[in-house]
Amino acid sequence: MTTPIGGVLLFGPPAAGKDTVSAALHALDPRFSQLVKVKVGSGRTAGYRMASEARLAELRRAGRIVLETERYGNTYAVDRADLDALRSAGGVPVVHVGSLTHLRSFLGAVNEPWLRVLLWLPRDECARRSAGRGDRDTHDRLAVWDTTLEDLAASNPDDAPFDLLLRTDLRPPESTAALVREAFTARPTRPANGRELVDFLRQKGSNGG
């Protein structure tokens, strides 16, 4: 008996289109919904469930946090109760992650298979998108892009961290979303191995070259 896929993990550097693809996926199939993360800190509040340090500590003690990350001076967390509520309502949670360590930590915590999708774009396209949407910290986001590339390029060739490798600069969000939905429905049987990942990253323009 095939184990059901718990949801969709979208992995990618800043400006790769995780929010945009999530929205397109929901428009294509309303079952797919981007999980609202808990956020402690400042800056953008839209799309997050803001919380205090004390509240986050309560969730930790209750064993509800399945992933906790820090970026741009803020803390972001995935609450297991939010995952359970979304799936109980018939939905498919879509969760964003930005490093292989976080991806593995999340999968270890939920202890079930998820569709793992890498969304990628060249460095110069990352810079263009970041500037185009008015980011004041484009330099920091490019630094994260560099770190993400190093993280991926250093992965074990025998590992298979992703089921789907997609360049978001080569197709519209609707097409990317359709490929993700198709992969989720088809239940991929062979993930991309580490060698295929490296070849993907070396594609022309993948690093802005």
Sequential DSSP letters for 54-68: HHHHHHHHTT-EEEE
| Residue 143 within a domain | yes
Q: What is the mean pLDDT of the chain?
A: 90
Name the token pair of 104: 């593995």
Report the distance separating Cα 118 and Cα 105, nearest Å: 16
Distance separating alpha carbons of residues 181 and 186, to the nearest angstrom: 9
* pLDDT tens column, 131-155: 888 888 899 889 999 999 999 988 7
pLDDT > 90 fraction of the chain, expressed in percent and rounded: 70
Residue 107, in any domain of the structure: yes
Give the SS3 label for residue 162: strand
Q: Is 67 within 8 Å of 102 (Cβ atoms)? A: yes
Report the length, in residues, of the chain: 209
Tell me if 47 is assigned to some domain. Answer: no
The CA distance from 5 to 113, in Å, is: 5
Contact 140, 74 (CB under 8 A): no
Q: What tens digit of pLDDT does each residue of 156-207 get? A: 777 889 999 999 999 999 999 999 999 999 876 677 777 788 788 888 655 4
Burial of 186 (0-12, 13-18, 19+ CB in 10 A): exposed
* Residue pair 68/53 in contact by the 8 Å Cβ criterion: no
Residue 22: inside a domain: yes
What's residue 89's pLDDT? 95
- Cite the DSSP H helix spans in 71-164: 80-88, 100-110, 123-132, 138-153
Decide if 127 is inside a domain. yes
- How much is the pLDDT for 146? 94
Q: Is 164 domain-assigned?
A: yes
The answer for 83, left when phi > 0, alpha when psi is -120 to 50, beta otherwise, is alpha
Q: What value does the mean pLDDT take over residues 85-110? A: 95
pLDDT score, position 201:
86
Q: What is the pLDDT of residues 41-61, one digit of tens each?
A: 998 888 899 999 999 999 999
Assess if residue 111 is contained within a domain: yes
Residue 144 lies in a domain: yes
pLDDT for 189: 62
CATH of the domain at 179: 3.40.50.300
Q: How many domains does the chain have?
A: 1
* Cα 191 from Cα 133, distance rounded (Å): 33
Question: Residue 133: what pLDDT?
Answer: 86
Domain that residue 133 falls in = 8-35+91-201
